[in-house]
Amino acid sequence: MSTPPPSKGPFALMAEFRSSKELIRAIRQARGAGYTQLEAYTPYPIEEVWEELGHHRSWLPLIVLIGGIFGALFGSLLQYWVSVINYPMNVGGRPLNSWIAFIPVTFETTILFAAGAAVLGMFALNKLPMPYHPVFNVERFALASRGRYFLAIGRWDPQFDRRETAEFLHRLAPQEVSEVAS
């Protein structure tokens, strides 16, 4: 969910479900009812939930590709510059630009930068670290990391209405509906 515009009332309304099937059904119904600002919380990755929420792609593979290309250029240019330009050393008349010998280091820097990009990119896209988030105000949300499934509707949803949305969530037969204090 993106950041909400400042206004009064709860940050979101949140419904708790006992199984992933119930959660997926609830997401379908909420989207069918016209809600758009949805977020689901699950104890383990469920690709179907992500797709049901209407998301499709992540920028991460591109970030990793750029990291890898940068790493490859960094490794090969570093070795070329050191061995040919800045500190040429003639060992047994072998060529200064002995690029075959530069492959292992280039390979390692490629992997290093790509892996670093994967981790930092994941943090950036997930906006981590984020020590505080309103969803943690819901006491039962601690179960989201154990075995419960949560669906939240943000108050910046055009259809959001504190009472109506709560009623709608109750109709989905959840374990509990709670208000997420902002």
Partner 1 sequence: MKASEGIETSGRKPSRPPVVAPGHSPGSVTDQITAVVLDRAPRWWWVAFGISFALVMLLLRALTKLLFEGTGIWGLNIPVGWGFAIINFVWWIGIGHAGTLISAILLLARQEWRTSINRFAEAMTLFAVACAGIFPLIHVGRPWLAYWLLPYPNTMDLWPQFRSPLVWDVFAVSTYATVSLLFWYVGLIPDMATLRDRAEGKFAKVAYGFLSMGWRGSATHWHNYETAYLLLAGLATPLVVSVHTVVSFDFAVGQLPGWHATIFPPYFVAGAIFAGFAMVITLAIPLRAAFGLKDFITTRHLQNMGKILLATGLIVAYGYLVEIFMAWYSGNWYEQFMILNRIQGPYQKQWMALLLCNVLAPQLLWFRRVRSSPVLLFMVAMFVNVGMWLERFVIVVTSLHRDFLPSSWGMYSGTFWDWATFIGTIGLFLALLFLFIRFLPMISIFEMKTIVPKQVPNTAEEAPE
Instruction: Look up tokens 């992997």; give the residue.
Output: 111
Pick 8 or 146: Cβ nearer partner 1? 146
Task: Using the minimum distance from each CB to partner 1, give the nearer residue, 27 or 164.
Answer: 27
Q: What residues from 52 to 91 belong to the interface with partner 1 (CB under 8 A)?
A: 53, 55, 58, 60-61, 64, 68, 78-79, 82-83, 86-87, 89, 91
Query: Could you tell me if 182 and 144 are in contact, meaning their C-beta atoms sit under 8 angstroms apart?
Result: no
Q: Which stretch binds partner 1 (CB under 8 A): 5-13, 28-36, 117-125, 156-164?
A: 117-125
Give yes or no for residue 121 binding partner 1 (CB under 8 A). Answer: yes
Nearest approach, Cβ of residue 47 and partner 1 (Å): 7
| Three-class DSSP category at 127 | coil
Q: Is 9 in the site for partner 1 (CB under 8 A)?
A: no
If one asks whether residue 93 binds partner 1 (CB under 8 A), the answer comes out as no
Distance CA 178, CA 12 (A): 9
The tokens describing 46, both together, are 């469920």
The closest of 161, 126, 182 to 37, measured between CA atoms, is 161
Say how many residues touch partner 1, by CB under 8 A.
68
According to the binding rule CB under 8 A, does residue 123 interact with partner 1? yes
**181 makes contact with partner 1 (CB under 8 A):** no
**Cα–Cα distance measured from residue 162 to residue 142, given in angstroms and rounded to the nearest whole number:** 23
Residue 160 contacts by C-beta under 8 Å, 6 or more apart in sequence? 13, 35, 37, 153, 154
Instruction: Report the candidate in 63, 44, 38 with the shortest Cα–Cα distance to residue 169.
Output: 38
- Least separation in angstroms between residue 97's CB and partner 1 is 11
